[in-house]
Structure 1
Amino acid sequence: MTPDATCVGADETVLEAAKEMTELGVGSLPVRGTDERLEGMLTDRDIVVKVLAAGKDPAKVKAGDLAQGEVVTVDADDEAEAILRTMSRHKVRRLPVIEDNALVGIVTQADVARTLPDPKVGDLLEAISS
Structure 2
Amino acid sequence: MTTAKDIMHSGAHWIPAHETLDRAAQMMRDHKVGALPVSAEGEQDRMVGIITDRDIVIKCVAAGHDPSAVTAGELCDGTPRWIESTADVNAVLDEMQSHRIRRLPVIENKKLIGMISEADLALHLSDEQVAGWAERVYSRT
For normalisation by structure 1, the TM-score amounts to: 0.95
Q: Which has the higher relative contact order, 1 or 2, with Cα contacts under 8 A spaced 6 or more apart?
A: 2
CA distance in 2, matches of 1:111, 1:45: 19
Residue 51 (structure 2) pairs with residue 66 (structure 1): no
Displacement, 1:114?
Answer: 2.8
Match of 1:23 in 2: 30
Residue 12 (structure 1) aligned with residue 19 (structure 2): yes
2:45 is equivalent to residue 32 of structure 1: no
- Check conservation: 1:93, 1:108, Cα contact below 8 A: yes
Q: CA RMSD in A?
A: 1.0
Alignment of 1:51-90 (within 5 A): 51-90=60-99
Provide the identity percentage. 41
The reply on whether 1:114 has 2:123 as its aligned counterpart is yes
The C-alpha deviation readout for 1:87-116, integer Å capped at 9, x for no partner, is 100111100100111111101122123332
Structure 1 unaligned regions, length at least 5: none
- Letter of the aligned partner of 2:134 in structure 1? L
Question: What is the CA–CA distance in structure 2 between the aligned matches of 1:50 and 1:118, rounded to whole Å?
Answer: 33
Q: Measure how far apart 1:20 and its partner are.
A: 0.7
**In the alignment, residue 3 of structure 1 is paired with which amino acid?**
S
Alpha-carbon distance between aligned partners in 2 of 1:111 and 1:79, rounded to the nearest angstrom? 15
Deviation per residue, 1:8-31 (Å, 9 max, x gap): 110000000001111111111111
- The reply to whether residue 98 of structure 1 matches residue 122 of structure 2 is no
Amino acid at match of 1:68: D
Residue of structure 2 equivalent to 1:50: 59
Superposition deviation, residue 78 in structure 1: 1.1
